[in-house]
Chains A and B, each alone.
Chain A
Amino acid sequence: MSKNFLEINNVTFAASNKNKVNNVSLNIENQGEIICLLGPSGIGKTTILRTIAGLEKIHSGKILLKNKIISSKDTHVEPENRNISLSFQDNCLFPHYNVVKNIEFGLERNKNKKNFLNMNEIIKFLHLEHVVEKFPHQISSGEAQRASLARSLLSNPDLLLLDEPLSNVDQSFKEEIQVKLKQILTDLKITTIIVTHDSYEAFYLGSKCE
């Protein structure tokens, strides 16, 4: 039996010519590791995240999380049952709820657990205090991206997947957020896979880059 926290073995998936990955393998040995996937556009970084999250079924290979098969040719654990959180590149806030309500949605999965992350602290650390009452269409794309990150962090997942999490964030906040993000992820031992274009971000945040 494998002892890796996350194991991706020869995964192949193709939805179209544009969205495909072939024979991808990746291991995360220990809980709390931060992995960065760095590479040019179109090589399937986002698609890998989507297959891990369960939004796409794989054609061959298998994905194991905490020694349990979550994806294979015959098995597919639904995304809502994986406790994996994905923060999308283009923010996916619910347009009819304000920012604070959107962030609160992150609490759903861990309603009955003791939350070791405080919502107000996350809002403060991501500089969202001034927009919490606003609706997604009233805030900038950088603010929306931070709100989406806050929601993902609050959901306290086994595995956090971040797709270009800070690509739209203002440069003045970016470095500060990177520092605090790394601190939170490390302190709370949240295993994370980050997809990014930014090599500086990748080397700073990641304990390992692929």
Chain B
Amino acid sequence: MAIKKINIWYISSFLISLIVAIPIATVFTSFFDATSNYSSIIKDTFLYNYIYDSAFLLMGVLFLTFIIGVGCAYLVSFYKFPGVNFFKWTLILSFAVPAYIYAYSLTAFFENYGTAYSILKNIFGEGDYNAIIPKFDGMFGAIISISFSLFGYVYVLTRASFHYQSQNLIELGKNLGFSKKKSFFKIILPSARPAIVAGLSLVAMETLSDFGSVSFFGVSTLTTGIYNAWISFDDLTLANRLSFYLLIFILGIFILENLSRKKAKYHSPSKGGFKSKSLITLNNFQSILAFSFCLIIFFVSFLFPVLQMLYWTIIFPKHFFDLNIIELFLNTLQLVFLSCCVLISLAFISNYGNRVSKSKLLELLTTFSVSGYAIPGIILAVAFITFISWFDNNIVMFFEINTIKSIFIGSILGLVIVYFIRFYSLACNGIKSGYLKINYSIDESSYLLGYSKFKTFTNIHIPYLKNSILLIGVLIAIEIIKELPITLIMRPFNFETFATTAYIFASQDLLEAAAAPSLFLIIIASIFILVTSRYILKD
């Protein structure tokens, strides 16, 4: 029997997981509460529209991200062509561009008398170019924006899977007389399937939880429905009920992703049987094609929004100078710093608690709590407010003490708590995967040398996992810099970040004013990505 007992680590770990699980449980329990009249109106009118638009958006984004992500991963993993090493890491820069900023760029460029019009006018003189410039708005615009901002998930995971495919597998195809095309469809693609499905599942979850770009393009998805139910009709219960539908949708995808990951274990090549791939050198024409494909994707996904925002920042300098960049930077940094500290330290404690107590109950609770990642930020924010209101009305009032609403709602504390719930899975799973590399006998050696559990934690585990901690910290930072709905709902009055400033200007149709904060957001996120690119691309 393992050393099992309820100790301080167990209790801490239990409490941390419980806090994360509360808003998720709130969504489920609210399902049985009474709703306003708006509920029946929604049911008869918009509900099917929400579901239809969500499903259509999801299909479109999954299709595009599959083509772009797998296509790029295939080219950089199997072929040698000019710039291949450059594209390997530049293609992940698309992570720095949130879908809502991509949406602003797309509109700014293609709208009537927009940037495209100006370019054509400068080259060819006056003319009716608006008629021939394609328009990217509504559902189409949303699909393009979300796809180019999220294809990185499919690219990174598929590339890692392709990288680990043994040369033996490729040679097997050749021996069987397969053409390159047949090898790709019959051998390479199926063996990378778990990674592709995992990448697409992440894309699906992010798509369904997207708020910024769909609301900008006026697409009515379940997420915008939740926001409207809460903001426009003040019906928290209906918002939670819609959240419940979305949660079911997302949990289905989550289960799919889990199943796929379990399968992925069986696809890991054994150490002995692995033979590194020799890259195929392409002929001149093929090289140009491969180079062009990667360049177009890099340009469209990253350079295009950056250049568009830079262009507007330059030609509308007034908005740039009106912006309090130092304040926005410090606000963003403050949130990043606080959230990273809270998330990493609590995720560490929780993981260590799980490790030393080896309790099935704790493991189950932790698994449930990490599903917060699958839940859109907007739902978590609403659920958190619901819970605080319930707690305030029932528990706090019962003891006749001052209301706690102002402590948790519209405060930095509340904002960091909801970030914590939203990104707990990222931190927890990141540290967990680091812990999986530490054999239990390492802990036992430490105990036998006289180190207590606490000393083992501080002297052995933390130094061992310092690289994982750095990577997780940066990933959390990137997510928080880009995060919009939670910040929008939970932030204190007059507290702005680059993301909220860009959104507020864009929602007032002042896209040119949204350019500078968007540009700064992309630059900061890009710096974080570049710092960790070698870890992100680590195979």
Contact = CB atoms under 8 A, between A and B. Distances in A.
A94 interface: yes
A24 interface: no
B449 A57 contact: no
Contacts of A85: 448-449
A13 B1 CA distance: 8
B444 interface: yes
Interface stretch (A60-68, A76-84, A164-172, A179-187): A76-84
Contacts of B451: 80, 105, 108
Interface in B93-147: none
A94 B450 contact: no
B200 to A, nearest CB: 35
Nearest to B439: A92
Nearest to B438: A95
A15 to B, nearest CB: 6
A205 to B, nearest CB: 21
B463 interface: yes
Interface string A22-56: 00000000000000000000000000000001111
B449 A155 contact: yes
A209 B448 CA distance: 25
A55 B441 CA distance: 10
A180 B353 CA distance: 42
A90 interface: yes
A79 B441 contact: no
Interface string A133-152: 00000000000000010010
B3 interface: yes
Contacts, number: 73
Contacts of A80: 447-453
A86 interface: yes
Nearest to B441: A92
Nearest to B442: A92
Contacts of A97: 463
A136 to B, nearest CB: 11
B2 interface: yes
A53 B447 CA distance: 10
B450 A109 contact: yes
B3 A57 contact: yes
Interface in A86-143: 86, 88, 90, 92-97, 105-106, 108-109
Contacts of A57: 1, 3-4
Contacts of B463: 96-97
B460 interface: yes
A206 B449 CA distance: 24
B447 A94 contact: no
Given A94-B460, A108-B451, A15 B2 contact: yes
B357 to A, nearest CB: 14
A79 B444 contact: yes
Interface string B413-457: 000000000000000000000000001011011111111110000
Nearest to B456: A80
Nearest to B447: A79
A132 B448 CA distance: 22
A27 to B, nearest CB: 22
Contacts of A54: 447
B464 interface: yes
Contacts of A13: 1
Contacts of B442: 92, 94-95
Interface string A180-208: 00000000000000000000000000000
Nearest to B467: A96
B449 A92 contact: no
A13 B445 CA distance: 21
Interface string B1-28: 1111000000000000000000000000
B2 A95 contact: no
Contact of B445 (A56, A78, A92): A92
A108 B449 contact: yes
Given A13-B1, A15-B2, A94 B445 contact: yes
Given A15-B1, A57-B1, A95-B464, A88 B445 contact: yes
A155 B451 CA distance: 12
Contacts of B2: 15, 56
Nearest to B460: A94
11 contacts: A14-B1, A15-B1, A53-B444, A53-B448, A55-B444, A55-B447, A56-B3, A79-B444, A85-B449, A95-B464, A105-B451
Interface of B: 1-4, 439, 441-442, 444-453, 460, 463-464
Given A15-B2, A57-B3, A94-B460, 12 more contacts: A55-B3, A56-B1, A76-B3, A78-B3, A79-B447, A83-B450, A85-B448, A92-B444, A94-B445, A96-B464, A105-B446, A106-B449
Interface of A: 13-15, 53-57, 59, 76, 78-80, 83-86, 88, 90, 92-97, 105-106, 108-109, 148, 151, 155
- The 6 closest A-B CB pairs, nearest first, are A109-B450, A79-B447, A92-B445, A92-B441, A80-B447, A96-B464
